[in-house]
Amino acid sequence: MPKKKNAPEEFSFEEALGRLEDIVQKLEGDELTLEEALEFFRTGVELAGVCSGKLTAVQQEVQKIVEDSKGEFALRPLDLSES
């Protein structure tokens, strides 16, 4: 039986983002008490941090293959300003 994921840092990016979207919908409604809203807000901040961290990690790993002047291929970090 798979272990249930409770800690936000255990979530995949997609799981964390989905839960964050759910929290935003709940916070935009008017059915929460102040205490519930605060708890959802805290969880949302934590999930946003998880998403940001995962995006940063992936961004650092993204590389592209480029051909140098000798016709050889090398890996270098992706430069998003190149178009």
Q: Which band of pLDDT confidence, cut at 50, 70 and 90, is reported for residue 2?
A: very low
- Is pLDDT larger for residue 19 or for residue 64? 19
Q: How many CB atoms lie within 10 A of CB 47?
A: 22
Query: What does the pLDDT read at residue 82?
Result: 62
Residue 23: is it exposed, middle or buried by C-beta count within 10 angstroms (0-12/13-18/19+)?
buried
Q: Does 9-77 carry CATH code 1.10.287?
A: yes
- Per-domain residue ranges of the chain: 9-77
Q: Tell me the pTM.
A: 0.68
- In the predicted model, what is the mean pLDDT of the chain? 83
Does residue 39 register a pLDDT over 80? yes
